[in-house]
Structure formats: C-alpha cells, structure tokens
A = this chain, B = another copy of it.
Amino acid sequence: MAACQQAGGDEREGVMRGISKLAQELGLSTGTISRALNGKPDVHEKTRRRVLDAARQLGYEPNQAARALARGRTQSVGFMMDLDPQAAASGDSFFMGVFDGVHSVLMEHGLDLHVLPCPSRQDRFAYLDRLVARRVVDAMILSNTGTADPRVGLLQAAGIPFVTFGRTKSPKGFSWVDLDFEGVAESAVERLVSLGHRRIALTVPFGDLNFGVVFKTAYRKALEKRGIAFDPALVFSTGLGDEDGYYLVDELLGGGPPVTAVILIFEAAAIGMYRRLSELGLKPGEDLSIIGLRDELAVRNLAPRLTCFDVPLHDIGVALSEALLAQMGLRSSSGRSPFVHLRVPLGLRPGGSDGTVRSVSPKKR
C-alpha cells in the first residue's frame, strides 16, 4: 500500500511540527494562526474560532524557545532563592507561601514563574549574571538581599526589571518589599519596656544580610526614644538553628548586669533557649522574656507560648509581583515614583514568653 517514497498528507504530518502543522491542517498560513492564537484584532472571528478549536484539539501550545526568540521576551519571571544549607536544615518554609502569592498575580498577566535555586556552593552574583546574560527570564525577584548587594547593580545595568524581597543599604532606584522590621522592633521594645525591662538584648543574623542592620537600627531607635541607651554589647549574632539559642542563654545571663529580655531575629533560637533555661531552673516569661520574629510551626508548641509576629507570606508574594509588574510596565505605578518601597507590617501575637521584669539570679556556671 505504502509507496517507497513518503508522500501524501498523512506521512507528512509527522514532519511538520508546531504551528506549521496546524497551519497545514487548517489550510491557513502560520501568520494567521499566530495572530488568531495571540488574540490580534485583525482576524476573522470564524477563522479565529477554527484555529482555537483545532489548537485545543491537537493540544497545540507554541514552542517556548521559538516564541521567546521571536518576541524578544520569555514571558516568564525568575525568583532567585538561595539554597543555604542552614536554611534548608532549619525547616524554613518561608518561601512556599510567597511563591503562591507571586504566582497568583503573575498568572493573570500570562507570566510564568520559574524558581531559580542558587546552589549553596555557587556564587550568587555569578549565578545571576549568567541567567541575565542568557536572557532566561524577563524579570527577576531577588531575596536575601545583602547590605550592599551587587546583584542590584547587575540587574540595573542589564536593564532587567526586578524587585527585591528585602532592602539594601541604599534602597533607592529600585523596588523592594520587605518585612517591617522597624514596626517589629518598635512594638517588641514597647511591649518589653512597658513590662519594666531596661536591659533588652537583640539578636541579628550572621553575615551580610541587610535586615540585620535594619533591625538593629530600628531597635536602637526604639530604645533611645524611651530613654534607654543603646548598648552594643547587647546585640548578638545567631544562626537559624535552635542550638544558637541554647548557647545564647548563657551569654545573656552570664555577663555583667543580666539581660532581662531578648528580641530574636530567628525565632527557632527560642527552642534552644527554652531548653537551656529549663536546665538552669529558669522560666521563659518569668526569668527571661523572649520575643520571636515569625510565628512558625517549629516554635508553636513551646510552653509558654512564644510571643512573636504573624508574617503574611501570601500577601508578600502578591506585593512583590505587583511591584514587579509595575517595573515591567504591565501595571501603572500608583504613585509618582516608579518604585515601590513597601514594608509589610507584621501583627504581634502575644504569648507567655514575656512578662514583667523581675530580678534574676542565674546560677553562675
């Protein structure tokens, strides 16, 4: 039956791919197909319907690479996430909720979200540089911003729309969304001072993360506003783990005039603190007041319950993508400035881990 040469429509079908197959099938040019599919106005309604029907039936979707090349944009947004091994180990689900929020907004604009995980052993700048040079995405969301984050300049120079989740030292000239560390510091200090505390410690992250600086500055301002001198000796760096809190307790209580309260940047430390306090026969909320940052599963079973803050992850994601859309020119920026600078307020969730001050007499170890 079959001739030795491939001939006729059937055999050819296998050869044509993508839009040209559709075109052949419908007896239309690829240009018309493209216009119909992309909702261009100058297509006969009947033609458009035929095209749409056929496309659905054949499961046709335009090839991403071809479309991106022709259009000069990929229609996708990258979210760069650090694969910090410490973060990975510490039950940090911070981003899942954010992604969901980002996605919900991007979808409406036909944009895809690609999470681009930067391996722990790789340089963040180099990783981003390569992505940008290759034009893998049209726009970027950066997280974990450093105090002076060179990635910002890279993206600016490349002319890629972007928004950061977190400020940098000089937060002008680009859009960012960040947690309202100022508000957190203010309400935590306010709460502790009103409970009678004067020696209030603070923990900040190791390394060059900008929010450590922001948090410290806000804490200092909140203290001084209430006539309490800032004491640099009361600022401690910690990691994300619970064990950081364990050792912190001795540092807090071991020195000169003991600290009576502490505000934690990484709430997981509270877990270790409770443990160590218990060993010392001391009680959180009585002998040492503790306020954590984020209410998350890992600290939710502490007794007494940890006083901390609600972080609206989904809302943060929404805010990030809306700021980004404005940068991409897909949404009119609401204000006079083209840049969004948004500090997301966190609501305090009072627990029992902070209380009125009382004289502590820790056992010297």
Contact = CB atoms under 8 A, between A and B. Distances in A.
Interface in A62-98: 62-66, 68-69, 74, 81, 83-85, 87-93, 96-97
A301 to B, nearest CB: 4
Given A65-B68, A135-B65, A300-B242, A103 B83 contact: yes
Main secondary structure of the interface of A (DSSP, over half): mixed
B117 A99 contact: yes
Interface stretch (A20-28, A43-51, A126-134, A249-257): A126-134
A346 interface: no
Contact of A134 (B63, B87, B117): B63
B93 A92 contact: yes
A274 B301 contact: yes
Contact of A117 (B89, B103, B120, B129): B103
Interface stretch (A30-38, A108-116, A199-207, A211-219): A108-116
Given A242-B297, A300-B271, A301-B275, A117 B100 contact: yes
Interface string A238-279: 000110000000000000000000000000100110110000
A133 B60 contact: yes
Contacts of A274: 301
23 contacts: A61-B133, A61-B134, A64-B68, A65-B66, A65-B68, A81-B115, A83-B100, A83-B103, A85-B100, A87-B93, A89-B297, A91-B91, A92-B96, A100-B120, A104-B119, A115-B115, A241-B297, A242-B297, A242-B300, A271-B297, A275-B301, A297-B298, A298-B301
A-B pairs, top 4 by smallest CB distance, nearest first, are: A88-B96, A61-B133, A65-B68, A115-B115
Given A65-B65, A107-B119, A112-B136, 20 more contacts: A61-B130, A62-B134, A63-B134, A64-B134, A64-B135, A64-B136, A65-B135, A83-B99, A83-B100, A89-B97, A90-B297, A96-B117, A100-B117, A113-B117, A242-B301, A271-B300, A271-B301, A275-B303, A298-B298, A301-B302
